[in-house]
Amino acid sequence: MSATKIIDGYPFISYTHDSYDTQGMIAHATSFQTWMDKRRTVRDFSDKPVPRTVIEQIILAANTAPSGAHKQPWTFCAIENPAIKKVIREEAEKEEYRSYNSRMPQEWLDDLKPLQTDWHKPFLEIAPWLIIMFKRIYETDGGGKKKNNYYVQESVGIAAGFLLAAIHHAGLVALTHTPSPMNFLGDILQRPENEKPFLLVPVGYPADECWVPDIHRKPLEDVAVFY
């Protein structure tokens, strides 16, 4: 049991966690970096089932993300029902067809060519699970009074990062998919007015034959400045 004390009327617990000597720290930091660098966004999914308990643990890991005033302004909808996945695919493809054929400027389409994406989204039905993150803009108290959450975009973005790391850690793969506009997700899943779709993440195993673009990550000197 950790020590507790009351500060200004609020409970605090003493905090300790694992730390390492310098060599251990370098080894941990380096091996984590190497392991994270193996994560890839995947579009070729297997339909092999993934147990619900794994998805629950992944969501609970994402739920550990820090958030503005610890409001945890997110809802994770986990979908394995084929009928719901089918409707989501149909609606997403309608929007994506319009995007690829009239909404996205040529410059954007050119930027996507190396990824070879198009409006077809079969993974929305093939992947065993779709996790859809909703951001909760506000909460309502018992009397129906609205209370805005804080730093919602940042908080949900961090939770999405944790989610992707948890999926990778479980030995599964994911795609960060943002059909645009994606309001149809709230309608299909009958989400309340205070929730807006943030990110659609198909989760599963990679297909037996799975190709990903030969992309490379920027080197440290291009992404970091030390003062």
Cα(153)–Cα(23) distance, rounded to whole angstroms? 37
DSSP, res 146: E
Residue placing its CB nearer to ligand IYR in the complex, 73 or 135: 135
Residue placing its CB nearer to ligand IYR in the complex, 67 or 135: 135
Number of residues engaging ligand IYR in binding (CB under 6 A): 8
Cα(152)–Cα(98) distance, rounded to whole angstroms? 29
The least distance separating ligand IYR from the CB of residue 59, rounded to whole angstroms, comes to 22
- Three-state DSSP state, 68: helix
Binding segment for ligand IYR (CB under 6 A), chosen from 129-137, 144-152, 165-173, 178-186, is 178-186
CA-to-CA dists, residue 209 to 43, 205, 212, angstroms? 11, 11, 10
* Nearest alpha-carbon partner for 71 in 160, 127, 135: 135
22 and 131 Cβ atoms separated by less than 8 Å: no
Interface pick for ligand IYR out of 177, 185, 197, 205 (rule CB under 6 A): 177
The least distance separating ligand IYR from the CB of residue 178, rounded to whole angstroms, comes to 5
Cα(17)–Cα(209) distance, rounded to whole angstroms? 41
The least distance separating ligand IYR from the CB of residue 105, rounded to whole angstroms, comes to 12
DSSP, res 189: T
| 117 belongs to the binding site for ligand IYR (CB under 6 A) | yes
DSSP secondary structure letters along 53-102: HHHHHHHHHHTTS--GGG---EEEEEE--HHHHHHHHHHHHHHHHHIIII
The least distance separating ligand IYR from the CB of residue 24, rounded to whole angstroms, comes to 37
CA-to-CA dists, residue 24 to 15, 17, 19, 36, 84, angstroms? 21, 15, 9, 18, 47
Cα(88)–Cα(124) distance, rounded to whole angstroms? 7
The least distance separating ligand IYR from the CB of residue 92, rounded to whole angstroms, comes to 8
Task: Mark residues 94-113: x for contact with ligand IYR by CB under 6 A, - for none.
Answer: --x---------------x-
Binding segment for ligand IYR (CB under 6 A), chosen from 22-30, 73-81, 129-137, 176-184, is 176-184
Residue placing its CB nearer to ligand IYR in the complex, 96 or 195: 96
Residue placing its CB nearer to ligand IYR in the complex, 57 or 117: 117
Interface pick for ligand IYR out of 180, 187, 193, 212 (rule CB under 6 A): 180
The least distance separating ligand IYR from the CB of residue 78, rounded to whole angstroms, comes to 20
Binding site for ligand IYR (CB under 6 A): 96, 112, 115, 117, 177-180
